[in-house]
Structure 1
Amino acid sequence: MAATQKDLSDSSGIWSLRRLPTMEEAQFRQWQVLLEQRTGMTIAPERQSFLETNLGIRMREIGCNSYQAYYEKIVSGPEAIVEWATLVDRLTVQETRFFRDPDAFRLVSDYILTRPREALKKRPLEVWSVGCSTGEEPYTLAMLLNESMTQLELPPLFGVTGSDISKPAIDKGQRGFFSARKLMGVDDELKARYFRPAERNTVEIVESIRQRVCFTRLNVMDLKRAPMHGMNIIFCQNLLIYFRRWRRREIVKQLADRLAPGGLLVLGQGELTDWQPPGLQRVPSENVLAWMRRQTDED
């Protein structure tokens, strides 16, 4: 038995139990460049350990024992496209939950409740959750819209689109099943109205809300190709923090161009400072970073 254990410890696969070496500066730089070129995401030097950890986990899973070998697999290997999608998912999917930012969602509700009733009857509200991760945010927006339309005694004329660069994330969102802990802090009445118990301590979004939400894979570096136009609400939180300041402004400008006149753009606090997006007017709020697109004369 002892000999067998020794043989195992000397086998080629046991490297997966060892700590990977620290990434050399040149290697870290090439990963920085690759990630920024393809996704716009920047990895600051102080987050090198974050990159090493996530690369290391994936490398152990597939039996790759050097950062350089994995880099070459990502760039030019036979399964480069699939492997790149897996890695992006590991690096970008963040912890989220329903009704994560109460102040921002309250602002959205107030915005809907103060729209002209005739406009709400005439045209469905179009809402876009940018960087939606696993779907908690777009589903929350759909619940808010449904609550607001019910309060206004209007039919639920609205649709929500969630977009994210991670295919595994949006696939999970489409399924509509979530861990019960994702509902921490959600009002009991809302839980009862919009969720149903499912297997293994999970909950399921009710069908009436799932039908109002669709998901699409989208890299914000490719916003020019996005088919979304005339959006009434664009919600983009906890995404811009990954980008350089100049790129944040570029992204926000493109999002603003996709707002309908009078449309609302909501960002995360501190994600954009000392800049006024052209054509937008800041919404007065101490706790929420938001703008409205100015109305034209004919509107």
Structure 2
Amino acid sequence: MDTFGLIQLAELIYEYCGIDFFKNLSSLESKISDRLKELGLSCWEYGGYLRVEPKEWDKLIELITVNETYFFREENLLEEFQRVILPKYQGRTPDNPLRIWSAACSSGEEPYTLAILIEESGLFEAGAVEIIGSDIDKKVLEKARKGLYNKKSFSFRTMPKEILEKYFVSFGDEYRVKDSIRAMVDFRRLNLLDENIAEMIGEVDIIFCRNVLIYFDAKAINRVVDSLYKVLKVGGYLFLGHAETITGMNTGFETIYAPSTFYYRKGEKYPCRSMGY
């Protein structure tokens, strides 16, 4: 495949959503080769096709994004969320709900996990918590809204049996998330590089943006983190993946070290400082 065409396509992808393929063009090539054959286009021609057929971006995003996720991923962090963070917001009401944003939520396992943990906590009345799940990939969002997952799916690899029985309904070869849990989550399509994220999401108390920044370069990371900072209320919490860190990036987030994990809290705009307890 023509290297110039791949570089051009990598530039278009980077401008569109921040995913960096410049150091791994072979990976990009393998992800799009079948689609190019299907369309009968060269890589260089495909760049032009995206400009005249903007709906093709939906298909391309589906091909290049990694949607590996599962329920109760990174249990230490989730335990901290349920045991330490949620009690801080106890007393919220439907008129002043706790608002949580699961950014890059893929097929919905993360926001549904958060909803289950909130329900299990018993700290909130009905309607006192709003969860937003967003992703750039329309196809995975459709799956998320349905709340249907194959019984043999990777999604259930760490699912406690008692939780499965309590919050899921058997539906042929699939399990379906119970309606009461599904009702807690509002799924929206969103590009993390959008300039109007604040208008689309509104102010939130807690953000989960896990295993996303690893696909961005430093410039895109700073842009995304700045957007997260703007929508998060002062004193709110940001959870990243265990392999991601923004400590020392002068973002205005304080790093909080717990016994088995770490996460961030929004302070004012000044260099980060670490905190322990």
The TM-score, its normalising length taken from structure 1, stands at: 0.81
| Deviations 1:120-158 (CA, angstroms, capped at 9, x unpaired) | 68732111000111111111111111112x1x4x41421
User: Counterpart in 1 of 2:2?
Assistant: 24
Gapped runs of 5+ residues in structure 1?
Answer: 1-22
CA RMSD of aligned residues (A): 2.1
Query: Which residue of 14, 20, 37 corresponds with 2:15?
Result: 37
Q: Match of 1:69, as an amino acid? A: E
Deviation at 1:113, TM superposition (A): 4.1
| Deviations 1:14-73 (CA, angstroms, capped at 9, x unpaired) | xxxxxxxxx23212211111111111111033x22221111112223x341522232322
SS of 1:115's equivalent?
A: helix
User: Counterpart in 2 of 1:155?
Assistant: 125
2:168 equivalent to 1:195: yes
Separation of aligned partners in 2, 1:273 and 1:37: 22
Give the number of the structure whose alpha-carbon radius of gyration is greater: 1
- Give the structure with the higher percent helix: 1
Aligned residue pairs total 264
Separation of aligned partners in 2, 1:276 and 1:288: 19
Contact 1:165 1:217 in 2 (8 A): yes
Bigger mean CA offset, 221-230 vs 209-218: 221-230
Query: Which residue of 138, 141, 147 corresponds with 1:176?
Result: 147
Contact 2:19 2:216 in 1 (8 A): yes
Deviation at 1:170, TM superposition (A): 0.8
Identity %: 30
Bigger mean CA offset, 257-266 vs 158-167: 257-266
2:191 equivalent to 1:219: yes
Q: Match of 1:64, as an amino acid? A: G
Query: Which residue of 32, 48, 70 corresponds with 1:55?
Result: 32
Deviation at 1:277, TM superposition (A): 4.8
Query: Which residue of 162, 166, 178 corresponds with 2:137?
Result: 166
Deviation at 1:168, TM superposition (A): 1.0
2:201 equivalent to 1:232: no
Deviation at 1:223, TM superposition (A): 4.5
Separation of aligned partners in 2, 1:292 and 1:273: 12
CA 225–186 in structure 1, closer or farther in 2 if over 3 Å, else same: closer
Query: Which residue of 102, 120, 141 corresponds with 2:114?
Result: 141
The TM-score, its normalising length taken from structure 2, stands at: 0.87
| Deviations 1:156-178 (CA, angstroms, capped at 9, x unpaired) | 42111011111111111111111
CA 225–117 in structure 1, closer or farther in 2 if over 3 Å, else same: closer
